[in-house]
Amino acid sequence: MFWWQTQAGDGLTVAFTNTAAGNLALHVGDDPARVLQRRAALEQAMGVRGGALRFMNQVHSVDVAMTEPGTASPAAPTADALVSSDGSAPLAVMVADCVPVVLAGRKPGGGVVTAAAHAGRKGLLAGILNNTVDRMRRAGAGDIRAWIGPAVCGLCYEVPEPMLDDAAAAMPELRSQTRRGTPPWTCRPAPRRSWPAWGWLPSGWTDARSSPRTCIHTGAPAAPDVSPGSCG
């Protein structure tokens, strides 16, 4: 179920799921009951309470939703990033060819702030990651680390040249070529090449050939079956 995972410190486990996790989206015409079964299986594998995993209605926006400690799991907010102000809420982001980005920052007095962001072409160019980092900092996060998940391969994924020109005008680092010498699209280089301007650096990044979702999980090691978590 997990293509990649690591213990990231501060009680965090960062992971990316693989295609064995199945479709986790309710908006693509799949049987809702089967989707909910897959989500429950993911929660069980993460060691979080059933039904606790927070999803978004992702619309390629720059909007960031907050989850506060002790609040019940609400309906999925329409947003493209979720921030847990104390790292206790399980967060989820789903991607196909866009970039999933997971972030975690330490509070000065102890504790963490976690986030999961959906960085597609429109959102990335409009500032979804900038807004996510800003919201984390307002929640008290410092020493922010980031993990960039797998996404579409720029060596293979072709787009019309005007689309690449528009994107590269805003982010020159996006300009490249496919193996065939045609205009490509990939968002993956943009976040890490923009980090110095935002004042924070990544913990690491990964690549994959599948279409993953990204998870970041927090909780007491002594009781992982009941501990809270974040999935992004």
Q: How many percent of the chain have pLDDT more than 90?
A: 28
CATH of the domain at 27: 3.60.140.10
Residue 111 falls inside a structural domain: yes
Per-residue pLDDT tens for 126-173? 889 989 999 999 999 988 888 888 777 788 888 899 998 988 888 887
Residue 166 falls inside a structural domain: no
Per-residue pLDDT tens for 41-83? 999 998 888 888 899 999 999 999 998 776 666 689 999 999 9
**Cα separation of 103 and 93, whole Å?**
12
Residue 131: CB atoms within 10 A of its CB come to: 20
| Residues 6 or more apart whose Cβ sits within 8 Å of residue 197 | none
What global pTM score does this model have? 0.81
**Cα separation of 132 and 103, whole Å?**
9
Residue 85 falls inside a structural domain: yes
Assigned token pair, 7: 């213990």
Residue 227 falls inside a structural domain: no
Assigned token pair, 209: 């050939």
Residue 112 belongs to domain spanning: 2-152+207-218
Number of domains in the chain: 1
Residue 195 falls inside a structural domain: no
For residue 174, give the DSSP letter. G
